[in-house]
Amino acid sequence: MKQAKLLTAQEMKRLAAVVDGTRHATRNHTAIALSFFAGLRACEIAALRVGDVYDETGEVRDTIYLQAAQTKGAEGNTVLVSKRLAQMLKRYAAACPKHVSHPARPLLFSAKGDGFSAQTMVNLFSHLYTSAAISGASSHSGRRQFVTELADKGVNARVVQALARHKHLNTTQRYIDVNESKLRKAMELVAS
């Protein structure tokens, strides 16, 4: 199975610039942030409701509880919200105050004003990557990047597994990118 592409820093900047030029820039940045900063799958992003992310006072929750129907594995899960993701979610709420005042509404709205399906969320990611001339990227690229970055920063594999919400550690390990540069850096640790 071919892995989703990891984005370079230059590709991330290009993607951000493309998203800035879209009609629903804040919404699109929020979708990307949920993928890259929380490791959410496209189907999970599409299934989020306003009340999953914001409390009764409109504040961003520090934890998102996914119901079984919102997840790939049909099991409830917990997603921790980082400070960086919380900032993006605050921007989204400020840009769409009427939308986020209704807890039962889909978090992200389509051009028609209703929610996304899993497939239309995948299509949104595909469109954004294509517009940014990033080939090989998919809706799963952000999730894979999330897992790889945690591993690269030395986070314990079991912690990465829990944050990725994988049942098996070997699934998590398949997400982590290994390349020659990383192998060389590892070898230098032996000699130091």
Domain extent at residue 136: 1-192
Going by C-beta distance under 8 Å and a sequence separation of 6 or more, which residues neighbour residue 34? 40, 44, 45, 48, 85, 142
pLDDT, one tens digit per residue, over 55-68 is 999 999 999 998 76
| CATH code of the domain containing 67 | 1.10.443.10
pTM for the model stands at 0.88
| Size of the chain, expressed as the number of residues it contains | 192
Distances (CA, A) of 89 to 30, 31, 144: 7, 10, 21
Question: Is the pLDDT confidence value at 51 over 80?
Answer: yes
- Is the confidence at residue 1, as pLDDT, over 70? no
Local confidence band at 103 (pLDDT 50, 70, 90 cut-offs):
very high
Q: Tally the C-alpha atoms within 13 A of residue 122's C-alpha that lie toward its C-beta.
A: 8
Give helix 118-131 / helix 141-152 axis angle, nearest 10°.
70
Q: Are 49 and 107 in contact (CB under 8 A)?
A: yes
Task: Report the sign of the C-alpha dihedral through residues 80, 143, 6, 117, in that order.
Answer: negative
Judged against a pLDDT cut of 70, whether residue 69 lies above it is answered with no
C-alpha closest to that of 108 among 54, 27, 19, 16: 27
pLDDT in tens, 18-50: 999 999 999 999 999 999 999 999 999 999 999
Domain count, the chain: 1
Mean pLDDT calculated for residue range 122-132? 97
pLDDT average, residue stretch 145-159: 88
Instruction: State the chain's mean pLDDT as an integer.
Output: 88
